[in-house]
Structure 1
Amino acid sequence: MVREANPGGGDIFVIADNLSSHNSLATRTWPADHPRIRHAFIPVGACRLNLREAWWRIFRHQALAGVSFAEGKDIDHATRIATAQLSQRAKPWVRGRSPPVPRHLRRQFTHSI
């Protein structure tokens, strides 16, 4: 299906994390029969390169948390609504954690008790 959607002679790269199912023997031998498709893995310990996981966590929390769906069209509808809502409040991605609360405020609170 991927080959048919991408006609031509160029290579197709599939980028995956190091999940055991992505690195199984069957997955490693499959590209031998498909020379245009190359498998590239995100290096171990470089999870920051896999932004899909962070997006999926946010999306799953917004669209799918605590909901059960009767049909596929219900999942499609929830996906479209969540995507539209996330797009409305989108802002640039900032890598890392927010800065810690300054310690002087914690000391001031402790001394006032």
Structure 2
Amino acid sequence: MLELYTDPPDDTTVVCADELGPVIPRAFPSAPGWSPDGHGVKSDVDYSRGPEKTWVYGGLRVRDGQEITCTASSRNSVCYQRFLQLVEDDNPEGEIVIVTDNLSSHNGKSTREWLVDHPRIRHAFIPVAACWLNLQESWWRLFRRAALAGQSFAGPDDIDHATRVATAQLNSRAKPWVWGRPPPPPGKLRRRFGYLL
């Protein structure tokens, strides 16, 4: 598994894929303050798990840090296959290895049949309870901060718009993802002062 990150085969694109969600339209309380009539501003949190939940599919291309995202109303094989098609269209040459978890929509009969017609794509499933092996999980952390933190969404269209904007912003400053901890930056030697009493 780690060889895909540290020494990928020639003419192979490694993409880490995962789903985030459900992201639910909700409104957060407004900032503390006073209304014109002298009362404290109050706003109830609007939170529901109704039919408007949205899933965000994401795929991180490890070699250059570019991300592909799309939103869907469900987490199922059809939406996953639509996401895989986006990944394939974005990587027109060579083999594509998708690093992902062994979810039923990733490994179900429908998806396996779809993959027969798309032989350039193959899956590399991470072991159970080892989500830290999927670099997409780290990218979700950046995405949550850029797109979702403290935001109010009126509906799925707002979530889709926030997803597209945040993905474009993060892709504009993307760098290759390297497995492992980076070496510490070289520090400047500090002067050591001796005090005599």
TM-score relative to the length of structure 1: 0.53
Residues 1-113 of structure 1 aligned to structure 2 (within 5 Å): 1-2=77-78, 15-16=100-101, 34=109, 37=112, 41-43=125-127, 46-100=130-184, 105=189, 108=190, 111=193
* Backbone CA RMSD of aligned residues: 4.1
| Greater helix share, structure number | 1
| Greater strand share, structure number | 2
TM-score relative to the length of structure 2: 0.34
Q: Which consecutive residues of structure 2, in runs of 5 or more, have no partner in the other structure? A: 1-76, 85-97, 113-123
C-alpha spacing 1:58/1:4, structure 2 compared with 1 (3 Å): closer
- SS of residue in 1 equivalent to 2:162: helix
- SS of residue in 1 equivalent to 2:154: coil
Report the identity percentage: 54
Match of 1:10 in 2: none
Greater length-normalized contact order (CA 8 Å, ≥ 6 residues apart) = 2
The answer as to whether partners of 2:143 and 2:166 remain within 8 angstroms in 1 is yes
CA distance in 2, matches of 1:69, 1:36: 32
Mean Cα deviation higher: 42-51 or 78-87? 42-51
